[in-house]
Structure 1
Amino acid sequence: MSSDEPRLPPELERDIFELAADTSDESMAALLYVARRTHLWIEPLVYRDIHVNATRRFASFLAATKSKPASFFAQHVSRLFLHVTISQPVEDVCEALKLCTGVTRIAGVGPVVIPIMKTFITGMQLERIGLFLTHIFPRLGDYPNPAGDAIDLSLPCFQSLTHFDVFDYLYKSEEADPYVAKLCALPALTHLAMNDVVPWTAIETLLAQCKLLKVLIVLWSGSRKEGVERAREMPFEDDRFVMAVYADVDGSIQYAPNLWTNMEEFIRAKRERRIEGNRYWVGKWADQEVLASED
């Protein structure tokens, strides 16, 4: 490492290095070795977002959990991105993720969600997630008789949940009803997303009974024509409801601007009468011009 003598006020120097580290993974790796003090500043950023996958970086994370104190990961890991493939034993991954009790955001799918996900999320205080509830509570998948009582959103990890992208497909009322009852009981829920065709009765109940709900999105993965037609079938009025094109499995946990902020802007535009009050189809939420151009 080079000389450890600072040339700028420490607070300013740290801000500069942290901003530089955020530009790319390569910059972050290089800045670890500039000086001892920069290593102390940058190392926590390396572990801020953990991608659970088959990469060398995730393997390094697993190795680090065996040498660093548990408090390091509890303090510095804030988001988990779950991927379909991993190259390490699921049990080892689970034990490492149990250390990340400071995680507030999780999204994705993959082998770590079945059947062990519940074991590592219970110690967290989640704020934003994008997940299948059937992965957390596998008995939900016992069709044709799903066990609705398997959903336990009273777990402490869900009491701080504000944003939830529910990946499960709930085409029929008998599929949706067990979810609706439990979602309405979440004490902090303000933003909710669901997939494709959701019964209008379920949508209406969620809007009526989720006390703090500000945004309810249906993310559409079918054709644009079908999405527009479905939005026009909205049988009641509520400006908190929107329909948008599905774009990203982890869009619900990204920093702003994101899925949620774009939908908030759409709702704001309706309330300010910049777009029609009876319009619910947004289209591609990532395209800001959609607010003016989509039908």
Structure 2
Amino acid sequence: MAESPCFPPELERYIFETAAHLYPGIIPRLLLVAQRVLIWIEPWLHRTVFFDSFTKKSGHGAAILRALQTHSKLAQFFAAAVRYLFVFSFELDGFFGQYTKREWSDAELAILFQACSGVETLLLFGDIEKHKLLELFTKTTMRPWRIIMLLDLIGTTPDISLSVFDNVTHLVLGDINETDRILDENWGQLRNLQGLPRLTHLALYKCSTWSSTRLVSALLSGCANLHCLIIVTHDPVPVLEEMNDSRLSIVIDRRPLFDAPDEADGLDIWAHIDGAIRRYTDIFGQDS
């Protein structure tokens, strides 16, 4: 009987990691193949972490906290494994007169977020001020290079001067109300945004005043290393489209923000925006 083929370990590892990347749903089954495969693939199980509730200690975040508290995993493991952290602070607290007590303490959140210190992409959705999220992240060593903030900008002013933004190269700022009329040249955080030392890509997602050339001019002139400024709106903006700057792209996208296919590594807003640009140029031509 012929012997079973034996792949070099590096090729075998590449095959399993590629499978985990392309088909994350099969990761739990891959972990059962062999001890060596478990060592290779277990970090992929934690590559994308969704933290979706402050009022219930459940889900992926709670599992990581338990692993840390029981010492079944070290913080260094999660620091190396977690690359995408999505934090949803959108509780229906107070509806129908019912108030839910927060189960997570600040100390537990600090332990969890510090363990995720190797995060590359951080998405914050909802009310970040209620739980002082930016301050919590600043107290950790987490310094992501992509931050996506989808907030209620009518009542929220994120402090972009905090050190959690120090390494940011790609920043998306979006309004969950999708009003197109929130930010203008008088926005209090404009100077801090201009002061981000590494910022190269900025997207304002349905939150900038559709007629404000002053805001756009201030961003283009004040952000020293900016390569790309994307303004995503519901409707055409002729006054902005007339601005002669190759770094500026105006994208018309009437779809809801999350009406996009999931990416292998979780929701990627830049991929969504790129798709909107492609749809726009397909319709109106590359020169539009």
* Residue 220 (structure 2) pairs with residue 216 (structure 1): no
1:171 aligns with 2:182: yes
Q: Is the 8 A contact 1:242 1:263 kept in 2?
A: no
Q: How many angstroms apart in 1 are the aligned matches of 2:259 and 2:49? A: 13
The equivalent position to 1:151 in structure 2, one of 134, 155, 159, is 159
Does residue 126 in structure 1 map to residue 125 in structure 2? no
Aligned to 1:268: none
Distance in 2, matches of 1:90 and 1:6, equals 50
Partner of 1:74: 79
Query: Quick check: 2:118–2:143 contact (8 Å CA) kept in 1?
Result: yes
Classify the secondary structure of the residue corresponding to 1:124: coil
Q: Which residue of 1 aligns with 2:111?
A: 95
Residues 219, 172 of structure 1: alpha-carbon distance in 2 compared, 3 angstrom cutoff: closer
How do residues 196-235 of structure 1 correspond to structure 2 at under 5 angstroms? 196=206, 197-198=208-209, 199-220=212-233, 222=234, 227-228=235-236, 230-234=237-241
Partner of 1:61: 64
CA contact (8 A) 1:52 1:80 kept: yes
TM-score by length of 2: 0.72
Change (3 A) 1:249 1:131: farther
User: Helix, strand or coil for the counterpart of 1:187?
Assistant: coil
Which letter maps to 1:187? P
- Matched residue of 2:232: which SS? strand
1:192 aligns with 2:195: no
TM-score (norm 1): 0.71
Kindly indicate whether the alpha-carbon contact (under 8 Å) linking 1:231 and 1:243 is maintained by their aligned counterparts in 2. Answer: no
Contact 2:84–2:120 (CA<8 Å) still a contact in 1?
yes
Given residue 83 of structure 1, which amino acid in structure 2 is its aligned partner? F
1:21: Cα distance to partner?
1.5
What aligned pairs does 1:239-254 form with structure 2 within 5 A after superposition?
Answer: 239-244=246-251, 245=253, 248=257
The answer to whether residue 190 in structure 2 is matched with residue 180 in structure 1 is yes
Are the aligned partners of 2:85 and 2:121 in contact in 1 as well (CA < 8 Å)? yes
Residue 137 of structure 2 aligns with an amino acid whose one-letter code is I
Note the aligned Cα RMSD (angstroms): 3.7
Tell me if structure 2 keeps the 8 A contact 1:170–1:195. no
> Cα gap change, 1:250/1:131 in structure 2, threshold over 3 Å: closer, same or farther?
farther
Structure 1: which 5+ residue stretches go unaligned? 265-282
Match status 1:108 vs 2:124 = yes
Q: Is the contact between residue 61 and residue 112 of structure 2 (CA under 8 Å) also seen in structure 1? A: no
Identical-residue share of aligned pairs (%): 27
Verify the 8 A CA contact 2:202 2:230 in the aligned structure 1.
yes
DSSP-derived class of the 1:202 partner? helix
Q: 1:186 corresponds to which letter in structure 2?
A: L
The 3 A distance-change label for structure 1 pair 40 and 231 is farther
| Residue 283 of structure 2 corresponds to residue 293 of structure 1 | yes
Richer in helix (by share)? 1
